[in-house]
Amino acid sequence: MKNLLILGAKSDIAKAIALEYAGHGYHLILAGREIEELNTFAEELRLKYLISVELKHFDALDFISNNSFVANLTTKPNGVICCVGYLGSQELAENNTEELLNILNTNFIGCVTILSHLANYFEEAKEGFIIGISSVAGERGRKSNYFYGSAKAGFTQFLSGLRARLHSNNIHVLTVKPGFVYTKMTSHLDLPKSLSISPDVLAKKVFKAHKNKKNNVYIKWVWKYIMCIIRLIPEFIFKKLNL
């Protein structure tokens, strides 16, 4: 029996991932804030796929109690997918410490804390997988979103180190780097069609990358090349660009 824990389960990407993994026979533990809002969704999954779906309260910013969150899980997960994230406002965060901390703590400290506890749990169990939804924004700091970008950069580096640590225990760590995805997070933005995808396309690619034991995956291939070019631009030119 395969049990998947999804953190930040109310996210549009998380829901698409839940549907994809349910379709492949995974039982689900959906964790998030105000998780009771997913009651109907959970019931639909149970009826359609004949799987068990548990709902658990989880707040990534409760750093200290995240250890007991793992210890108190009644159904033990075989893997976790972390979909927690907060785009926030770059402009606001430049003058507002609360917004700044929310962006950094949600995308970096919160995700790192809970996944560190789960890493220890999987290491002891000698099986498991960890999938983190990071972002192409973490590949280079841009003036338009360097708070979010730097937190995602930290998260990507954390997953890289964790992968190296857990490799010898046969625990697979996958870093997902989406570009633009049509979700609540981006609903206020005018996304370029050719660079954007829907959450269900992303979910299928995550499942495939997981099954193929990939280390890193860019969800739309074009982003791999875009980010390669962006990384190569010399700093003296990069700082003048309106990116």
Ligand X SMILES: NC(=O)c1ccc[n+]([C@@H]2O[C@H](COP(=O)([O-])OP(=O)(O)OC[C@H]3O[C@@H](n4cnc5c(N)ncnc54)[C@H](OP(=O)(O)O)[C@@H]3O)[C@@H](O)[C@H]2O)c1
**Nearest of 36, 40, 31, 39 to residue 11 by alpha carbon:** 31
Measured from each CB, the residue nearest to ligand X is: 85
Q: What is the DSSP letter of 79?
A: E
- Nearest approach, Cβ of 170 to ligand X (angstroms)? 26
Taking the complex as a whole, the smallest distance from the CB of residue 166 to ligand X amounts, in Å, to 21
Other CB atoms within 10 A of residue 10 CB: 18
- Applying the rule CB under 6 A, the residues between 103 and 162 that interact with ligand X are 106, 110, 133, 135
Shortest CA distance to 9 belongs to which of 49, 64, 79, 59? 59
Query: Does residue 12 bind ligand X (CB under 6 A)?
Result: yes
Q: Which two tokens stand for residue 148?
A: 């979010």
Q: Which residues have CB under 8 Å from 95's CB, separation 6+?
A: none
For helices 97-104 and 146-166, what crossing angle results, to 10°? 30
From the list 43-51, 72-80, 182-190, 228-236, the region that binds ligand X by CB under 6 A is 182-190
Residues 31-90 that bind ligand X (CB under 6 A): 32-34, 58-61, 83-86
Q: Which is nearer to ligand X, 141 or 169 (CB)?
A: 141
Minimum Å distance from CB 85 to ligand X?
2
Q: Where does this chain bind ligand X (CB under 6 A)? A: 8, 10-13, 32-34, 58-61, 83-86, 106, 110, 133, 135, 178, 180-181, 183-186
